[in-house]
A and B are shown apart, each in its own frame.
Chain A
């Protein structure tokens, strides 16, 4: 028989003004199982806690009920308190007689009766409490960073600097990501490569970082501290040990294909490095286009390679690794504007995307930094920039703002005017959203110092007229239609999640929103975490972000990982589900409903040594929601701390005679 002690708090006058605390304490004494009850002005104060500890010793209490404020506030306080008196911390229950009673009722009689009921329920539950323990779970102190853009690079560097090994997985042949494609960065106009490439090199030379390029995550299992990840490293066709990066192979390769890195505006070979500063500086053979791979005669690169690094028969390598934490930094892609009929279905060569314009401006781009029209390579005299192309548009499936377009459009207009002061720059915008440090000033500079013409309104149609491009729109501030004869039109297209974001989310067991951006655990208070512990988000895979926000979040994710790894081991949740294996018939209902994939069917020893199936809860994965318990057909799975018997006894405690 449990020996319950009840401690009723006045909370100064917060409770005592409305609830007759002495009467509650007296009534508590008559509840079966209660051997001691008292009231005190501030139960959470040091004297109050001493009173609890002394009573536990004096009256040999083995369960404690504190009738005071919400357990969401002081449950940890009293758990610590009774643990100091030698009781298991999970043997305390709280009756919430402040938030749910004295603060919301005025009738002293009714409030007191309710308080007594709440104590009655808490006592009934406490009597069925049993000691709970947190198990120690070991941590594999190696992090996996998925995505080698600026987010992944920053996260990897920060984790590595904290002293933990990191594996950085990148799908393309080089790390660097989108930022490597950019020319200058707003609002300071730093050259993107000048600030990014040192970080890429740091990554490559850091003793704690292993870079796996041309590789993808295929399968993830396990849980926080103990993930098992299968990574497929695609065959590069070049031996990374032997290659010196001299570049003879790709200078002589006879196959020319459109260059993805130049957004289709330049050419690359079938064996190539995506850009000159690539890390690792080792070419890759594009098997889709390689002549030899298509049954044609070639082998030029192999003949020319001075170190014999070309290996046509190289095969994909599957690497299975153990990781304690995962940072997801897979970035975004640009929406393809060829879906917009009124802007020419992408068929007008001189209507280009912002990212293509970025490559045109870049000194290492296809035109070596000269801004020319893709159609005839003439420098444009009039350039029209259109913001919000596909963004903030239900019609195109992106209700959201892509966040960076206002700023990079201003940057494009400014750089254009700086390079070619005689060129006219027009910007069509919906609103100017320049909400960052130095952003508003930057836009004002573009307009006031550089003389870009900002027109508030939408562009309704873009079409070819002779060798020019006509842009028809509206100036909604002046309330009249506008028509501009342009040489070049630059569309600030929407940012979108990667095509396979949903698939990666499925592999990781994390969720996405309706657009397939990865969902954070809490939009305000847990913007870096996801609902599954041990997995963190960095950068634009979560939502459109600019570089400062991306880097900040990447460092945030890295500090979360370092915090996790700084502990000697993890402690499991004590209030989790557990299966009575002898009763389980392995119907699998709990497996299906578990939001955390924490339950699996395993072989257990049955009668007479025979093997049979039963559900088993993975303590590292279970979050203790209890969805499985309510779904179990045989009531053979229960939730520690909130058992069926406990909840039902709370109801029984108030039963009418």
Chain B
């Protein structure tokens, strides 16, 4: 998909190596109309919160392909936070309902991939909830700090359901970090 070669090495790694302290790195994927605006409001209201989240703006939480979340973990983020409009408030009427279904399923899938579900959060923040956004960043950062650095995708967890019923033994799903 995207060429990644030229993006190896980031400011964050430099910062980490210089300070020596590990800081949680969290990927935020926010819908334009509610959560991104809520994060903007947190800014205008000067609601201080930890600088650990990097925000990607998408039009709607319904735009969030579960692979964005997986990609975040595969690229070494310690946590991923997806935030959309409250149920009933979606700018596009029902995109957030699709997001809720997809990401609920994803949460279960993450565990099978060996990604603790505590590292992933899906939440609603409206355009008027700047304080809620700031609070969720605080909470998520603290939770990830306690969990420690993400060790990378690739430590397989036995699948409870055989991948193919025709096989004699249940096969473990293996996903390796790139």
Using CB atoms and an 8 Å cutoff, list the residues of chain A in contact with chain B.
Answer: 27, 32, 70-73, 96, 98-101, 103-107, 109-111, 113-114, 116-118, 120-121, 124, 128, 511, 531, 575, 593, 595-596, 623-627, 629-631, 639, 642, 644-645, 647-657
Q: Which of B91-111 contact A (CB under 8 A)?
A: 91-95, 98-99, 102
Contact A630 B65 (CB under 8 A): yes
Say how far B107's CB is from chain A's closest CB, in angstroms: 16
Contact pick for B71, options A72, A625, A630, A648, CB 8 Å: A648
CB neighbours of B58 from chain A (8 A) = 626, 642, 647
Contact A116 B98 (CB under 8 A): no
CB neighbours of A120 from chain B (8 A) = 7, 10-11
Using CB atoms and an 8 Å cutoff, list the residues of chain B in contact with chain A.
Answer: 1-2, 4, 6-13, 15, 23, 25, 27, 29, 32, 36-37, 39-40, 42-44, 46-51, 54-60, 62-68, 71-72, 75-77, 90-95, 98-99, 102, 134
Interface of chain B: mostly helix, strand, loop or mixed: mixed
Q: Evaluate whether A655 and B51 lie within 8 angstroms (CB atoms) in the complex, with A575-B59, A630-B65 already known.
A: no
Say how far A116's CB is from chain B's closest CB, in angstroms: 4
A-B contact pairs, 22 of them (CB 8 A): A32-B6, A32-B7, A73-B40, A98-B43, A99-B43, A104-B47, A106-B48, A117-B10, A531-B92, A531-B93, A575-B59, A595-B62, A626-B58, A626-B63, A630-B64, A642-B63, A644-B67, A645-B1, A648-B1, A648-B2, A651-B71, A657-B8
Contact pick for B95, options A72, A100, A627, CB 8 Å: A627
Quick one: closest A residue to B72, CB to CB? A651
CB neighbours of B6 from chain A (8 A) = 32
Say how far B43's CB is from chain A's closest CB, in angstroms: 3
Contact A104 B48 (CB under 8 A): yes
Contact A595 B49 (CB under 8 A): no
Contact A104 B65 (CB under 8 A): no
CB neighbours of A32 from chain B (8 A) = 6-7
Contact pick for B51, options A107, A644, A654, A656, CB 8 Å: A107
Contact B63 A99 (CB under 8 A): no
CB neighbours of A107 from chain B (8 A) = 51
Q: How far is the CA of A644 from the CA of B63 in the complex (A)?
A: 9
Q: How far is the CA of A72 from the CA of B12 in the complex (A)?
A: 26
Quick one: closest B residue to A119, CB to CB? B11
Q: How far is the CA of A271 from the CA of B123 in the complex (A)?
A: 61
Say how far A397's CB is from chain B's closest CB, in angstroms: 19
CB neighbours of B37 from chain A (8 A) = 72
Quick one: closest B residue to A125, CB to CB? B56
Say how far A655's CB is from chain B's closest CB, in angstroms: 4
Say how far B137's CB is from chain A's closest CB, in angstroms: 9
Contact A27 B60 (CB under 8 A): no
Quick one: closest A residue to B68, CB to CB? A647
Say how far B129's CB is from chain A's closest CB, in angstroms: 14
- In the complex, the number of residue pairs spanning A and B with C-beta atoms less than 8 Å apart equals 177
Contact B11 A113 (CB under 8 A): yes
Q: Evaluate whether A654 and B63 lie within 8 angstroms (CB atoms) in the complex, with A100-B40, A627-B98, A645-B2 already known.
A: no
Q: How far is the CA of A294 from the CA of B38 in the complex (A)?
A: 65
Residue among A117, A630, A652 having the largest count of chain B Cβ atoms under 10 Å? A630
Interface of chain A: mostly helix, strand, loop or mixed: helix
Q: How far is the CA of A72 from the CA of B23 in the complex (A)?
A: 29
CB neighbours of B55 from chain A (8 A) = 96, 100, 118
Q: Evaluate whether A655 and B54 lie within 8 angstroms (CB atoms) in the complex, with A72-B40, A100-B39, A642-B63 already known.
A: no
Contact B39 A631 (CB under 8 A): no
Q: Evaluate whether A71 and B57 lie within 8 angstroms (CB atoms) in the complex, with A107-B51, A631-B98, A648-B1 already known.
A: yes
CB neighbours of A645 from chain B (8 A) = 1-2
Q: How far is the CA of A652 from the CA of B72 in the complex (A)?
A: 8
Q: Evaluate whether A100 and B43 lie within 8 angstroms (CB atoms) in the complex, with A116-B11, A117-B12 already known.
A: yes
Contact B40 A70 (CB under 8 A): yes
CB neighbours of B57 from chain A (8 A) = 71, 96
Q: Evaluate whether A627 and B54 lie within 8 angstroms (CB atoms) in the complex, with A32-B6, A652-B4 already known.
A: no
Say how far A287's CB is from chain B's closest CB, in angstroms: 40
Say how far B35's CB is from chain A's closest CB, in angstroms: 11
Q: Evaluate whether A104 and B8 lie within 8 angstroms (CB atoms) in the complex, with A625-B62, A648-B68 already known.
A: no
CB neighbours of B59 from chain A (8 A) = 575, 624-626, 639, 642
Contact A639 B63 (CB under 8 A): yes
Q: How far is the CA of A302 from the CA of B21 in the complex (A)?
A: 97
CB neighbours of B63 from chain A (8 A) = 625-627, 629-630, 639, 642
Say how far B114's CB is from chain A's closest CB, in angstroms: 18
Say how far A109's CB is from chain B's closest CB, in angstroms: 7
Q: How far is the CA of A114 from the CA of B102 in the complex (A)?
A: 30
CB neighbours of B93 from chain A (8 A) = 511, 531, 595-596
CB neighbours of A654 from chain B (8 A) = 7, 10, 12, 25, 27, 54, 75, 77
CB neighbours of B71 from chain A (8 A) = 648, 651-652
Q: Evaluate whether A117 and B1 lie within 8 angstroms (CB atoms) in the complex, with A72-B36, A104-B134, A626-B62 already known.
A: no
Residue among A99, A117, A118 having the largest count of chain B Cβ atoms under 10 Å? A99
Contact B7 A104 (CB under 8 A): no
Q: Evaluate whether A593 and B51 lie within 8 angstroms (CB atoms) in the complex, with A100-B40, A117-B11, A627-B63 already known.
A: no
Contact A657 B44 (CB under 8 A): no
Contact A595 B42 (CB under 8 A): no
Q: How far is the CA of A606 from the CA of B129 in the complex (A)?
A: 50
Contact pick for B65, options A72, A111, A644, CB 8 Å: A644
Quick one: closest A residue to B6, CB to CB? A32
Contact A655 B65 (CB under 8 A): no
CB neighbours of B44 from chain A (8 A) = 99, 103
Contact A104 B46 (CB under 8 A): yes
Say how far A13's CB is from chain B's closest CB, in angstroms: 14
Contact pick for A109, options B15, B27, B36, B50, CB 8 Å: B15
Contact A121 B54 (CB under 8 A): yes
CB neighbours of B12 from chain A (8 A) = 113, 117, 654, 656
Residue among B15, B58, B64, B93 having the largest count of chain A Cβ atoms under 10 Å? B93
Q: How far is the CA of A17 from the CA of B58 in the complex (A)?
A: 29
Residue among B32, B57, B102 having the largest count of chain A Cβ atoms under 10 Å? B57
